[in-house]
């Protein structure tokens, strides 16, 4: 097309799109995640009530057979050990469930609507991931509050955790990064999958085991193959980081091979978040239109 021809179209052209428009798009996608969550109360029950039940029931059931790890300070009940693990489980469940909405969005056509909008793909990813992160963070924080309240009220064994204002702030930031990385992981998988059932399958063979061998459910040994699996699992550093931040007051937990230092936890968790974000942006550049059930069937 000639320059003249292009100029003829320019008369309609609105002002060039700036960074503000992109952030407005990101904010709107984040906000949509929140509103959708509030409208689906069952998600709340699944993501918060189930882990709380796990905590109470497993805590009571396994209390007798639990041997506190070497790094524990004095007496540590199973419920106290399990406490940060459950917080990470909540982060995982919520983060993952908000990734599933990618599949629903695609089937309902909403995703295509966003893909043909001027919002860049990285904006779509950030919007989606921030939504999942905020939801996960709110619920995990609520759990920490409920757990502390139950322990204080005598409904759960007493815990020697030390939660000052500074600790709580650090905990929230750290949990946000863990949630962001898990939502990113969910995003990468959901983008590739075409059905919610497929996602559930992936969840039970990849995500749940990942959580089980993160030191959330049982302490890692110092040696043996399981110790290596646990050490190479990025979530291990999420659980350990959370655990450390809960005790970092006057009597921090001692450093051992099975419980990495806070620095290592922070580095590993931020790296994991950066990797899943990069992965999400890369997969989001792949075409998804052919996965739309209607257009796919039409092309046969």
Partner 1 sequence: MTQPPAITVESLSHCYGERVALDDVSCEFARGSICGVLGPNGSGKTTLFSILSSLVPTQSGQVTALGFDLRRHATEYRQQISVTFQAPALDRRLTVQENLLHQGHLYGLSGRVLAERSGELLEQFRVADRTGDIVDTLSGGLKRRVELAKCLLHDPQLLLLDEPSNGLDPGARHDLWQCLEELRAERGTTIVVATHLMEEAERCDALVLLDAGKVVASGSPSELRNEIPGETISIIASQPETLQQRIRESLQVDVRRTGELLRIQQEDCQTLLHELVDRFSGDFKTISLGKATLEDVFLARTGHRLAGDEQ
For partner 1, give the closer residue by CB, 30 or 236: 30
Phi, psi angles (nearest 5°) of residue 42:
-60, -30
Contacts of partner 1 in 281-300 (CB under 8 A): 287, 289-290, 292, 294-295, 298-300
Q: Is 169 in the site for partner 1 (CB under 8 A)?
A: no
User: Which residue of 46, 120, 252, 279 would you call a contact of partner 1, by CB under 8 A?
Assistant: 120
CB of 118 within 8 A of CB of 24? no
What mask of x and - would describe binding to partner 1 in positions 236 to 275, judged by CB under 8 A? ----------------------------------------
User: Which residue of 115, 142, 168, 202 would you call a contact of partner 1, by CB under 8 A?
Assistant: 115
DSSP structure class, residue 217: S
For partner 1, give the closer residue by CB, 109 or 249: 109
How many angstroms separate the CA atoms of 129 and 113, rounded? Answer: 18
User: Which residue of 90, 119, 185, 266 would you call a contact of partner 1, by CB under 8 A?
Assistant: 119
For residue 124, the minimal CB distance to partner 1 (Å) is: 9
Q: Is 122 in the site for partner 1 (CB under 8 A)?
A: no
How many angstroms separate the CA atoms of 251 and 236, rounded? Answer: 22
For partner 1, give the closer residue by CB, 72 or 119: 119
How many angstroms separate the CA atoms of 178 and 184, rounded? Answer: 10
Q: Is 114 in the site for partner 1 (CB under 8 A)?
A: yes
Residue length, the chain? Answer: 300
Contacts of partner 1 in 24-53 (CB under 8 A): 24-25, 27-29, 31-32, 35-36, 39-40
User: Which residue of 50, 112, 148, 167 would you call a contact of partner 1, by CB under 8 A?
Assistant: 112
For residue 116, the minimal CB distance to partner 1 (Å) is: 5
Phi, psi angles (nearest 5°) of residue 256:
-145, 170
| C-alpha closest to that of 79 among 104, 62, 100 | 62
CB of 107 within 8 A of CB of 197? no
Q: Is 6 in the site for partner 1 (CB under 8 A)?
A: yes
First to last CA, the chain: 35
Rounded to whole angstroms, what are the CA distances from 49 to 105, 157, 206, 252? 26, 19, 22, 30
Q: Is 54 in the site for partner 1 (CB under 8 A)?
A: no
Contacts of partner 1 in 77-106 (CB under 8 A): 105
For residue 50, the minimal CB distance to partner 1 (Å) is: 22
Rounded to whole angstroms, what are the CA distances from 178 to 95, 137, 259, 268? 10, 9, 17, 10
For residue 130, the minimal CB distance to partner 1 (Å) is: 14
| C-alpha closest to that of 242 among 175, 162, 151, 169 | 175
Mind giving me the DSSP string for 274-288?
A: HHHHHHHHHHHTS--
Q: Is 117 in the site for partner 1 (CB under 8 A)?
A: yes
For residue 127, the minimal CB distance to partner 1 (Å) is: 10
| C-alpha closest to that of 207 among 183, 174, 231 | 183
For the record, the structure tokens of 170 come out as 């650090």
For residue 40, the minimal CB distance to partner 1 (Å) is: 7
Which residues sit at the interface with partner 1, rule CB under 8 A? 1-2, 5-10, 12-14, 17-18, 20-21, 24-25, 27-29, 31-32, 35-36, 39-40, 105, 107-110, 112-120, 287, 289-290, 292, 294-295, 298-300
């Amino acid at each position: 097309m000639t320059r003249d021809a292009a100029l003829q179209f320019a008369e309609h052209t609105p002002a060039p799109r700036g960074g503000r428009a992109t952030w407005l798009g990101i904010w709107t996608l984040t906000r949509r995640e929140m509103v959708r969550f509030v409208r689906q109360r069952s998600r709340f029950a699944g993501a918060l009530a189930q882990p709380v039940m796990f905590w109470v029931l497993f805590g009571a059931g396994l209390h007798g057979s639990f041997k506190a790890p070497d790094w524990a300070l004095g007496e540590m009940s199973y419920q106290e050990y399990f406490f940060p693990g459950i917080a990470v489980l909540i982060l995982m469940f919520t983060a993952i469930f908000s990734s599933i909405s990618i599949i629903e969005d695609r089937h309902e056509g909403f995703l295509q609507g966003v893909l043909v909008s001027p919002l860049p793909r990285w904006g779509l990813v950030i919007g989606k991931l921030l939504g999942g992160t905020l939801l996960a963070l709110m619920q995990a924080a609520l759990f920490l509050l409920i757990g502390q309240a139950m322990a204080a009220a005598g409904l759960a064994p007493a815990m020697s955790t030390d939660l000052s204002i500074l600790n709580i702030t650090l905990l929230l930031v750290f949990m946000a990064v863990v949630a962001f990385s898990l939502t990113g992981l969910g995003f990468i998988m959901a983008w590739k999958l075409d059905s919610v059932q497929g996602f559930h399958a992936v969840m039970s063979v990849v995500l749940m085991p990942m959580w089980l061998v993160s030191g959330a459910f049982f302490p890692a040994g110092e040696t043996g193959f399981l110790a290596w699996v646990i050490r190479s699992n990025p979530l291990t550093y999420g659980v350990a980081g959370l655990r450390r931040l809960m005790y970092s007051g006057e009597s921090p937990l001692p450093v051992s091979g099975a419980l990495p230092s806070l620095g290592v936890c922070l580095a590993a968790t931020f790296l994991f978040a950066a990797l899943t974000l990069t992965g999400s942006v890369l997969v989001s550049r792949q075409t998804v239109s052919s996965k739309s059930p209607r257009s796919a069937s039409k092309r046969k």
